[in-house]
Chains A and B, each alone.
Chain A
């Protein structure tokens, strides 16, 4: 078990290192100069040179990389080239927004996706099952940005209603407004994942129900529901948990489009604009952070998996 953990940790570190190099090189290689962007129309060679010096862009690539890694390790994520705000500051402001969005999205997924998947599996091939499966497929097929657009604008058009836009209201300040802001956004974001989890729960549960030990339990006289609850569900949910873990990794870093449409000041938008504007300090740090979050969550999920399923531990 310990060797397994150790191995996974080492792999995670290696992956992070590769990603850091990839991000760094890709950003530096693509065209455009952040100094120009910052200075705009009247940038002078002197000013540009000054910004280059400040960002360390005049040094060789390797030196820049080492310098950057050193900064990150020390916790200094630098300042945005465009707005001069410290990345850590912005991060601290935006992280709670992205976190709440992710948690609420996960909540929707778990509260809607899993139960529907279970019902669908238990009532296999019934009309209910077909309805649920159709819903799931639809959920996977509609583009999130389209639904988000309609969700925001149709109520505004028809009833003059929209959630508070432009400033995030904290949960403890005003729970109702907060939920009005995050509710629709998280639900739209959850549509696709709900569909996936629905299907996965269903197929996983069906797979488990076919297993021998279930038949044994039934043969022992245990009634249907008890069988499902005690034996089947626990095992069926293992892969579901795995996938949930992977999903949350994606949600934490992204949700770019949803944040943009619902005017949520989260990390996804931050990454997007910083990449567009070649705001190196911000883009690098954020992409690394996202990748680190993904790797970490994957690691946790893998470990959890190993804990839950003894067979894995010994491979």
Chain B
């Protein structure tokens, strides 16, 4: 009861404080952007990636899997990045590869973060036995060498896009759970939690309506940073031949395929690698900036 009122009051106050009109909001956004140029750069990189991924069929000059040119040729007018060992247009494959990377990245991180946060919140809030057990499991999972965990699970499930997403998500969950739990532990001390409990709000309600929203920024920051690692993880798996199955245009798989015909095919190795690097760079820059903006405690350390 009190909790509800309090929240409403906060909301009203917030409304009152909110600058009236889009112009002011824009100005604030501009100020934030100016203070975080790298973050903006990151955001632009990601935005480009998303656009490319969404409109891949429109942007790519050739459909994937079409052997449109002579094999292993360098950049030319017809093929911006050259052709790979099959004669496929590298530019088209990189563009379509953006789709796969985004799909794997966002889905894996999305699932992993949500599940990880849920576990972290439950564990952190409920404490006691539940917390102890969950934390031991998390420790175990973290102790297990990552790549090997991925390998073993992929062997059991078999290589496919869905399984890669699953595997990467599984790899993310323990780390997220641990960090979120830490944050929940400190949140739990706050006054409003006690107040809510005093008014008889159930544990679930508190977790959902109070704690979760407060650890959400942390979750977003973690997720953004994790997107970079997720994409690297998918690339590594595909590089080893256990990721996205051919002939899907995965950047990691394309680099792997190109190596068997280096030195002829430097281009086929170069461009997907650049694509991965720029994508991960974008997410890292954005993640850093977000962390600086959303997490006031760290602002001082900038």
Contact = CB atoms under 8 A, between A and B. Distances in A.
B280 A254 contact: no
Interface string B257-299: 0010011000001000100111011001100100000000010
A153 B265 CA distance: 12
A137 B287 CA distance: 11
B143 A19 contact: yes
Interface stretch (B8-16, B105-113, B149-157): B149-157
Contacts of A19: 140, 143-144
A253 interface: yes
Interface string B176-209: 0000000000000000000000000000000000
B263 A30 contact: no
B281 A137 contact: yes
Interface string A123-152: 001000000011001101111111001100
Contacts of A294: 143-145
B255 interface: yes
B240 A257 contact: yes
Interface stretch (A21-29, A53-61, A91-99, A172-180): A21-29
Interface in A241-289: 249-250, 253-254, 256-257, 271-272, 275-276, 278, 287
B236 A143 contact: yes
Interface string B118-162: 000000000000000000110110011111100111011000000
A210 B301 contact: yes
A295 interface: yes
Contact of A140 (B140, B147, B228, B262): B228
A256 B277 contact: no
Nearest to A15: B140
A14 B148 CA distance: 20
Given A149-B255, A153-B263, A26 B136 contact: no
B301 A143 contact: no
Contacts of A32: 155
B232 interface: yes
A275 B151 CA distance: 8
A105 B27 CA distance: 47
A153 B270 CA distance: 12
Contact of A30 (B146, B156, B288): B156
Nearest to B280: A141
Given A14-B136, A137-B288, A210-B301, A143 B281 contact: no
Contacts of B273: 142-143, 146, 150
Contact of A253 (B145, B153, B277): B145
A278 B269 CA distance: 31
A67 to B, nearest CB: 21
A257 B236 contact: yes
Interface string B232-263: 10011001100000000000100100010011
Contact of A272 (B151, B259, B278, B298): B151
Residue in B137, B145, B263, B276 whose Cβ sees the most chain A Cβ within 10 Å? B145
Of B140, B146, B276, B280, which is in contact with the most chain A CB atoms at under 10 Å from its CB?
B140
Contacts of B288: 137
A298 B145 CA distance: 13
A256 B147 contact: yes
A90 to B, nearest CB: 17
B152 A23 contact: yes
A186 interface: no
Nearest to A199: B288
Contacts of B236: 143-145, 257
A23 B141 CA distance: 12
B300 interface: yes
22 contacts: A14-B136, A18-B136, A22-B144, A29-B156, A30-B155, A30-B156, A137-B281, A140-B284, A141-B277, A141-B278, A143-B255, A143-B277, A146-B255, A146-B276, A149-B259, A153-B263, A157-B262, A206-B300, A250-B146, A254-B145, A272-B147, A298-B143
Interface of A: 11, 14-15, 18-19, 22-23, 26-27, 29-32, 125, 133-134, 137-138, 140-146, 149-150, 153, 157, 203, 206-207, 210, 249-250, 253-254, 256-257, 271-272, 275-276, 278, 287, 290-291, 294-295, 298
The 3 closest A-B pairs by CB, nearest first: A146-B273, A141-B280, A141-B281
Given A141-B278, A145-B255, 12 more contacts: A26-B153, A31-B156, A137-B38, A137-B281, A140-B280, A141-B228, A141-B281, A143-B273, A145-B239, A257-B239, A257-B240, A275-B148
